Amino acid sequence: MASDGIVERTLGELARLVGGELQGDSELRVSGVAGLEEAQINQLSFVVGPKYLPQAHASAAGALIVPPKLRDIDKPLIITDNPYLAFAKILSFFTPKPRPPLGVSKKAHIGAEVKLGDSVSIQPNVYVGDSTVLGDRVSLHGGVYIGSEVYIGHDTTLYPNVTILDRCIIGDRVTIHSGTVVGSDGFGFAQDGNSYFKIPQVGIVQIDDDVEIGANCTIDRATMGKTWIQRGVKIDNLVQIAHNVVVGEDGIIVAQVGISGSTKVGKNVILAGQVGVTGHLEIGDNVRVGAQSGIAKSIPPGQTVSGSPAISHRDWLKNCQILSRLPELRKKILNLEKRLAAIEEATDS
């Protein structure tokens, strides 16, 4: 650590951290990372491709992370196939997220027969229900509510005012941001004349390891069985996941998406912002869906679709162009009608 309290590392250490090739002074001291324009002489920056070469040359950064084809830049370099990933890892290394103080606040409520792991942090105004299990190094920020018989794995962080309801299961290294609700009742009612009778929602939500969920999302418990968010899924803010939905591994669900009941989303799917998906569908692996699309049919693996109702992204792009010229097309048709009528009249006579 430097004398002013800023952490410093050598370029060599950082190259090793990200598995990159070092070119230049391995003892160069680096105190952080920043964008090309903001970086200072004691900071590291990154260049993802040749497009950014002018900014790279103009940058004050003391060293750069670059892909192999940019190894000729005249600065100390860390060379790696994925400079953005290396940047993320080094930024993460320099700026660890602070944990709340260890221990259990006296202003928290801890129910009966709760099992607490080692080194947990439980802030004031937290509620932990009976028979709940918390893994090691779990952090519960102020206002978090955890119901009864909940299981939470190691190294999981729940930000302020998160609600986890009874019997849900949360894995290791899961992060859930403020205001999100996990385990609210699914929206299920049986018609009874003009009115509706509630179908009890007796299933759970299971969230696997390494999932991150944004703020103010809602993930409903299953009617029976489980709503299931699989390993590595990343969910943005204000997303709605209905009962019995499955989101496959490493999916990306952008803000304000809604997925209706019992739909199964495959692995490595990307749903862009404000997409809506109706219920009981199968979305195949590696599907990508454009922003604001409406999905009303199952989609085979690997497709990219857009629009509402969604069609192939390529066709949708064509349609968008034609749509912007619809008035013109209509004029063409009216014009054709006139000309044709004239010919018909001439031929008749």
Q: Does 103 bind its own copies (CB under 8 A)?
A: no
Q: Does 232 bind its own copies (CB under 8 A)?
A: yes
Say whether residue 270 binds its own copies (CB under 8 A): no
Check: CB of residue 57 under 8 Å from CB of residue 72: no
- 339 near its own copies, judged by CB under 8 A: yes
CB of 345 to its own copies, least distance (A): 11
**Site for its own copies contains 40 (CB under 8 A):** no
| DSSP SS3 for 76 | coil
Q: By CB under 8 A, is residue 2 in contact with its own copies?
A: no
Residue corresponding to tokens 């221990």: 103
C-alpha closest to that of 170 among 153, 157, 182: 153
Q: Is 297 in the site for its own copies (CB under 8 A)?
A: no
Does residue 131 interact with its own copies by CB under 8 A?
no
CB of 127 to its own copies, least distance (A): 4
Beta strands 304-306 and 311-312, pairing class: antiparallel
Residue 73 sits in the site that holds its own copies (CB under 8 A) = no
The answer to whether 58 contacts its own copies (rule: CB under 8 A) is no
CA distance 323 to 263: 31
Q: Which two tokens stand for residue 142?
A: 């102020």
Among 42, 60, 99, 109, binds its own copies (CB under 8 A): 109
**DSSP code per residue over 192-256:** ETTEEEEPP---EEEE-TT-EE-TT-EEEPPSSSEEEE-TT-EE-SS-EE-TT-EE-TT-EE-TT
From the candidates 141, 154, 177, 243, give the one annotated as an active-site residue. 243
Is residue 64 part of the contact set for its own copies (CB under 8 A)?
A: no
Structure tokens at 209: 């390891």
How far apart are CB 144 and its own copies at their closest, in Å? 9
- Asked if 311 is part of the footprint of its own copies (rule: CB under 8 A), the reply reads yes
Rg of the chain (C-alpha set): 27
DSSP characters over 265-313 = E-TT-EE-TT-EE-SS-EE-TT-EE-TT-EE-S-B-TT-EEETTTTEEH
Choice from 21, 25, 27, 344 touching its own copies (CB under 8 A): 344
β-pair type (240-241, 121-122)? unpaired
Footprint (CB under 8 A) of its own copies, residues 240-259? 240, 242, 249-250, 252, 254-256, 258
Contact region for its own copies (CB under 8 A) — 5-13, 23-31, 57-65, 79-87?
Answer: 79-87
Return the number of the residue (136 or 166) whose C-beta is nearest its own copies: 166
* Residue list 172-231, contact with its own copies (CB under 8 A): 175, 177-181, 184-185, 187, 189-192, 194-200, 202, 210, 212, 214-218, 220, 224
CB of 53 to its own copies, least distance (A): 20
In the annotation, is 243 catalytic? yes
**135-136-141-146 Cα dihedral, nearest 10 degrees:** 10
* Total residues interacting with its own copies, rule: CB under 8 A: 111
Pick the closer one to its own copies by CB: 138 or 158: 158
Task: Report the residue number, 126 or 138, with the smaller CB distance to its own copies.
Answer: 126
Contacting residues for 250 by C-beta, under 8 A, at least 6 apart? 231, 232, 233, 267, 268
**Residue numbers annotated as active site:** 243
